[in-house]
Amino acid sequence: MNYTLHQLQVFLKVTQTLSITKAAEELHLTQPAVSIQLRNFQDQFDIPLTEIVGRQLFVTDFGKEIATAAEKIINEVHAINYKTLAHKGQLSGRLKISVVSTGKYVMPYFLADFLKRHEGVELLLDVTNKARVIDSLAANDTDFALVSVLPAKLDILKVELMENRLFLISDAKMRPAKQPAEKSILETLPLIYREQGSGTRYVMEQFLKGANLNVVKKMELSTNEAVKQAVIAGLGCSIMPIIGIKNELASGDLQIVPVKGLPIKSNWNLIWLRSKNLSPVAEAFLKYINDEKSTIIDEWFDWAL
């Protein structure tokens, strides 16, 4: 046996995602690189670790046992690194944060300086939709979550970071009226929705429901980037957080369509379970957020507020 730590990490991620593509994305590797590492790891065992049925990847019973062992080994390696840094008097450990997809335009700015100050902190940042973020929080798989829609069924604590504003957007060719349009304009436009489980979709649907509007749903897309490209291409309009369209507004690819009752306003919240036993790293990050959030907002987000 001559497997490497990198091969263990790749194999473990493949077993967690059950997908070469998803594992490559989360590890920031190419699909061929993941496939090669997986094959090299498999070559060291006479018993199959995974199998392909149709187009679906499955982990064998033996593979599941190896994955459990791999996770223990990786955790022990991290523990050694953390202990080494701790003996040097440095804050060390993992900080796990789950972020709704639009939050990727927000959270990095609240992390950058903290990570520069504490080089021993390892960040695990998972970007997904609202439903999965809440599932991760409920399962205690993350320290904090960044959401704009608070979960109704979890006992949480929170820190409000900044306001979240959502506008109706269109491509550059649409000519909006000089005065804000009535909400009924939304019944005449093809609207592009995010997927079920998205916080942006939830807020959008609540607004439409509250206004008693019957709209024509043109299409449903799974990411904000896909929605932006569809709007730019002239496939329809959408209601989106301004935080994610700064560059497109500046370039003129997208424009805000003034509508009465818009923007929809909510707040970006950093949340965690009330019962969560925060690690020293998590406690330090929470203190940093409370101390520095106003400075960060003034430096990076004054344009969006």
Alpha carbon 15 to its chain's center: 21
The predicted pLDDT at position 285 comes to: 95
DSSP 8-state code for residue 77? H
Burial class, 286, CB count within 10 angstroms (exposed 0-12 / middle 13-18 / buried 19+): middle
The predicted pLDDT at position 90 comes to: 66
The predicted pLDDT at position 144 comes to: 97
- 63-87 per-residue burial string, b: 16 or more CB within 10 A, e: under 16: beebbeebeeeeeeeeeeebeebee
In angstroms, rounded to a whole number, what is the distance separating the alpha carbons of residues 227 and 22?
21
Instruction: List, in sequence order, every residue forming a beta bridge with 237; answer none if it has no partner.
Output: 191
The predicted pLDDT at position 85 comes to: 60
Give the chain's domains with CATH numbers: 5-84 (1.10.10.10), 90-162+267-304 (3.40.190.10), 164-266 (3.40.190.10)
**8 A C-beta contact, residue 171 and residue 291:** no
DSSP 8-state code for residue 235? S
Cα–Cα distances (Å) from 55 to 27, 77, 109, 263, 265, in that order, read 21, 34, 39, 43, 43
Tens-binned pLDDT, residue by residue, of the chain (305 aa)? 688 989 999 999 999 999 999 899 888 889 999 999 999 999 999 999 999 888 889 999 999 999 999 988 887 777 776 566 655 666 778 899 999 989 999 999 999 999 998 888 889 999 988 888 999 999 998 999 999 989 988 999 999 999 999 999 999 888 877 789 899 999 999 999 998 888 889 999 999 999 999 887 788 998 889 999 999 999 999 999 999 999 999 999 999 999 999 999 999 999 999 999 888 889 999 999 999 999 999 999 998 87
The predicted pLDDT at position 45 comes to: 92
The predicted pLDDT at position 2 comes to: 80
Q: How do beta strands 156-171 and 120-128 pair?
A: unpaired
The predicted pLDDT at position 305 comes to: 77
Taking alpha carbons only, the member of 65, 35, 44 closest to residue 2 is 44
The predicted pLDDT at position 87 comes to: 54
The predicted pLDDT at position 91 comes to: 76
